Amino acid sequence: MSWVVVARKDFQDAVRSKALWAVTAVFVLLTAGVAYLLAVLSGGTIDASGYVVFLPQVVGVFLSLVALMVGHRAIVGERESGTVKLLLSLPHSRRDVVLGKVAGRGAVVSVATVLSFALTALVMLGAYSSFEAGPFLAVVAITLTFALAFTAIAVGLSASLDSSTKVSAATYGLYVVFALNLWNWLPNAVNYVLHGDMFFLGGEPAWATFLTGLNPTVAYQRAVGGIALDRLGDVPVHLSAWAALAVLVAWIVVPLVVGYWRFDGADL
């Protein structure tokens, strides 16, 4: 279990960062703080389900950025400093390094996420007219999967590229594409190339909605809406909450496989 040693060391190094705890504090304000503000503005009449519907919109934009920030220099930073050679001189393979880095950085993001949601739950228990633990815990579980997906994307890029500049450009470019929903225009661009029309005048076809759902931010919102809140209704399989969850899992696996393949063949 050599990757566990890498993960433990990476986690310990990351939690010493003041910047990380500052980001965690902002995350707490965006979750627990907004929950309290809504309770005050509603005069205590709002219930937890009303806030849980709103929560993924906030979390999706902010948490994805945090995960990318935490993970994007995980390997390329060690390559540029030369410490990756020292790491690999110990009984660690390149696979151990990739797995250990994503596990360590993922644990850091998970701790910040769980802390924020725990404080949010305390606020809702005290200030809201009702609170259902089941849907809230489902949101937490799906959110942790979402956070790990973006951490894996960042670590995969960090393993694939050989300079921090390239990794930063790719990482924050993907943030704009995914979190700010530029990806959602991809079906329109494909339709324009195929048919000369930017918009779907006869309604959006199944392939377009499927392509939109490959955006991990959209997949996160669909998974929360269907699994935690039961708000999707009767939809095709490719639009279901479980399909959305499978998309998030794919965004964990694929970037790491590609990142390891590139890192394994790289000349350090």
Q: Which tens digit of pLDDT belongs to each residue from 176-197?
A: 999 888 898 888 888 888 877 7
Closest CA to 74 of 3, 21, 1: 3
- Write down the pLDDT at residue 214: 94
- Write down the pLDDT at residue 232: 63
Domain ranges of the chain: 2-180+213-264
Q: What percent of the chain has pLDDT over 90?
A: 32
- Write down the pLDDT at residue 252: 97
CA angle 115, 221, 187 (to 5 degrees): 140
Query: For residue 73, which amino acid is it?
Result: R
Q: Are 34 and 58 in contact (CB under 8 A)?
A: yes
Q: Are 200 and 238 in contact (CB under 8 A)?
A: no
Tokens of 120: 């949010």
In this structure, the chain runs to a length of 268
Please say whether the dihedral angle defined by the alpha carbons of residues 90, 95, 75 and 1, taken in this order, is positive or negative: negative
- Write down the pLDDT at residue 44: 63
Q: How confident is the model at residue 200 (pLDDT cuts 50, 70, 90)?
A: confident
Q: Which residues contact 263 (CB under 8 A, 6 or more apart)?
A: 75, 94, 97, 98, 159, 160
CA angle 182, 55, 167 (to 5 degrees): 40
Enter the pTM of the model: 0.91
Q: Are 244 and 145 in contact (CB under 8 A)?
A: no
- Write down the pLDDT at residue 148: 96
